[in-house]
Structure 1
Amino acid sequence: MTQKDVESNTVSQKDGKRRKLYCHVGIGLVVSLIVVVAIIILTIYLIHRPTKPQFTLQEITLNAFNISTATTATLTSSFQITMSSRNPNARTGIFYDKLDVYATYRGQQITLQTMLPPSYLGHKDVTVWSPYLYGTEVPLASYLAGSLSQDKTAGTVLVNIKASGKVRWKFGTFVLGKYSLNVNCPAYITFGNKDGSYAVDPAVKYQLVARCSVDV
C-alpha cells in the first residue's frame, strides 16, 4: 500500500467518524426537541387542567313507545330529544369529533344510534342538539317482560338517553386527545295501557332539564 493509499484511507475514516458524529448530534437534537415539546404540552395541560363538559337533557318529545307481547316481546319507539352541552372551561376549548346518541331501557339499547355533527365549543360556550331516536320492533330480553308489568303498575318508565364518542381539548394552538366520552341522561316518562299493550299518546312532550352524568 502506497503512502497515497494510506492517506486516502485515513481521510475516509475521518469522514466516516464525522458523519457518525453528525448523525448522533442530529438524533440528539430531535429527541431533545420532542422532550421539550412534550414538557411544554404537559405543563400547559397541568396549568389549565380541563373540566369535563356538562350535558343536560332538556326535553323529550315521545312520538311512539309501543310494546307488543303477541309472541316475542318487542318495542317500537320514537323520540325527539333536546340535549345541550356546556364547556365550563375559561381557557380550554372542546372538540366533539364523534358523538352517537341512543336510548336504553334497563340496560338494553332500544333505538338505533344517531350521529351528531362534529362541533367545537369555545370557552364557556353552549351547543344544543335535537336529534331523532327510533327503533322498530326491537326484541326485548325475556327478563324485561316482568319489568314492564312493574313499570305499568308504577305508571312510569325510566329511559336512559346515552351519548358516546370522542373528545379533544384545545389549549391555545395545542390540541390534545382523543379521549372517550360517555354521557348518561335518565328520563322518567309516564305511560298507560291501550288495548292490552303498553303505549303512550303520540307527540307527548316532557320538559326535563335533567343534568346528565359525564365520564371522560
Structure 2
Amino acid sequence: MLQFNLAANISIRNPNKKIGIYYDRIEARAFYEDQRFGYDALTPFYQGHKNTSVLNVVFKGQQAVTLQGEELTQFNQERTSGLYSIALELSLRIRFKLGKVKTARFKPKVECDDLKIPLNGSPVAGISNNKCEIQF
C-alpha cells in the first residue's frame, strides 16, 4: 500500500503579448511506474498575456500499487537513494482570447515524466527545473 502526501507547484507561462488563456478544466494525475496513485481537480482561471501562473497541486492518500520484476527492483533502488521517480500529467480544457474573440475549446495534455522526488520532503538540488511536454 502506497501512502503519499505530495505537494507540487507547477508554473505555467503565457509568453504571448496579445493572447490570454482560459483554463476551463485542469485535472492533475500522479503516476508511479505507470500506475496512477493521485488525482486533483484544480480551480478554473484566466491567465492574461505575458503572465506566469502557479498551480498548487496536492496528492494525499493511499493507493494499492502492484510492483513486480524490474519495477520492484527499481523501487528498492529508489528507496535506498531516497529519490523516487514519478510522472505528473495535466489534462486541460482551454480557450484562447484575442481581444473580444474567444476560440473553441482545446484539450491539450501536459506530461512531466521522470520527476525525481525526495522522500519525506528532504531537500534535493535540481528537482525544481523540470520541463514538461505539451500535446495538443
Fold shared by both chains (TM-score > 0.5): yes
d(CA) in 2 for partners of 1:84, 1:148? 28
The Cα of 1:154 is off from its aligned counterpart by 5.7
The residue that corresponds to 2:122 in the other structure is 204
SS in 2 for 1:149: helix
Query: Residue 189 of structure 1 corresponds to which residue in structure 2?
Result: 117
SS of residue in 1 equivalent to 2:76: helix
CA distance in 2, matches of 1:182, 1:110: 18
Q: What code does the residue aligned with 1:117 have?
A: T
Gaps of 5+ in 2: none
The DSSP-based 3-state class of the residue aligned with 2:18 is: coil
TM-score (norm 1): 0.54
Between the aligned partners of 1:175 and 1:161, the Cα distance in structure 2 is 29
Q: Deviations over 1:129-161 (max 9, x none)?
A: 22211231x111343334313434565321112
Residue aligned with 1:151, SS? helix
What RMSD in Å do the two structures reach over aligned CA positions? 2.0
Normalising by structure 2, what TM-score? 0.83
Counterpart for residue 42 of structure 2: 116
Q: Which residue in the other structure is 1:3 paired with?
A: none
Q: How many residues align?
A: 131
Matched, 1:140 2:65: yes
Distance in structure 2 (CA, Å) of the matches to 1:155 and 1:116: 29
Answer 1 or 2: which has greater strand percent. Answer: 2
Name structure 1 gaps, 5 residues minimum. 1-73, 191-199
Aligned to 1:13: none
Give SS of 1:128's match: strand
Structure (1 or 2) with the larger CA radius of gyration: 1
Separation (CA, whole Å) in 2 of partners of 1:92 and 1:166: 16
- The structure with the largest helix share of the pair is 1
1:87 partnered with 2:5: no
Q: What pairs with 1:1-216 in structure 2 (closer than 5 Å)?
A: 74-111=1-38, 113-136=39-62, 138-143=63-68, 144-152=71-79, 156-186=83-113, 187-190=115-118, 200=119, 202-206=120-124, 207-216=127-136
**Structure 1 residue 75: Cα displacement:** 0.9
Stretches of 4+ aligned residues off by more than 6 angstroms: none
